Amino acid sequence: MSGDVVLRVNGEDRVLHLDNRVTLLDALREHLRLTGTKKGCDHGQCGACTVLLDGERANSCLLLAVAVAGRAVTTVEGLADGAEPHPLQRAFIAHDGFQCGYCTPGQICSAIGMLAEAAAGLPSAVSADLAGTAAVDLDDEEIRERMSGNLCRCGAYAGIVAAIREVAGG
C-alpha cells in the first residue's frame, strides 16, 4: 500500500509517494536524499537517526513517514544559518567531539533537543530537583545522562560533553 505524503522538512514542504511501511528515516535517506540522518540500528537503540520533530528530539527510525505528515522535521542539514554552522556544529569540531562522524548528526540534533528540555526544566535521572519548575543547570553529569541515548562507538564522549557544555554555558 502506498500513498502521497507531504513532509515538512527543514522548512520546506516535500511531496512524496511512499509505501506506507517507509520510516521517516528511510524517507529522508532514500527518498529525499537527506543522508545526513544516519541509520545505526533501525530499532531505536542507538540514537544515530535523531531528528527534531516540532523541535523535540525523536528517533526517526521509529516513526512511519505517513504518521508525521505536516509536522516540522528538522535534520542536521537544516541546522546551519545559511553558510554559518550551528554553534553546536562548530563546538563539535572545536572539541573533536567525533571520530568516524556517523553518530554525529544524531548527537547534534539530540543535543539541541536536550538543551531545550533542560531550559524547560525537565528533570533527568540525575536531577536533584524533580519538580521541573526551573531551568536545569547542565553540569557534566546532567549532560552525560541526558545524552546517553546517543551511542558513540568511537568513544568521543569527552569531546561531546565538552562541546555541549560550551554551548550550554554560552
Q: Which stretch binds other proteins (CB under 8 A): 22-30, 65-73, 114-122, 130-138?
A: 22-30
User: Interface residues for other proteins in 92-151 (CB under 8 A)?
Assistant: 92-94, 96, 98-105, 108, 140, 143-145, 147-148, 150-151
What whole-number distance in Å separates Cα of residue 24 and Cα of residue 1?
16
Exactly one of 42, 69, 87, 122 binds other proteins (CB under 8 A); which one?
A: 42
Exactly one of 43, 54, 67, 137 binds other proteins (CB under 8 A); which one?
A: 43
DSSP states of 87-99: HHHHHHHHTT--S
In this structure, what C-alpha cell is assigned to residue 61?
A: 527510525
Are 58 and 74 in contact, with CB atoms under 8 Å apart? no
Q: Which of 68/152 has CB closer to other proteins?
A: 152
In this structure, what C-alpha cell is assigned to residue 5?
A: 505524503
In this structure, what C-alpha cell is assigned to residue 45?
A: 537503540
Q: Which of 11/133 has CB closer to other proteins?
A: 11
Shortest reach from residue 77's CB to other proteins, in Å: 5
In this structure, what C-alpha cell is assigned to residue 15?
A: 511531496
CA distances from residue 137 to 46, 93, 114, 147, 162 in whole angstroms, order as listed: 26, 24, 12, 15, 15
What is the contact surface with other proteins in residues (CB under 8 A)? 19, 21-22, 26, 29-30, 33-43, 45-46, 48, 75-77, 79-80, 85, 89-90, 92-94, 96, 98-105, 108, 140, 143-145, 147-148, 150-161
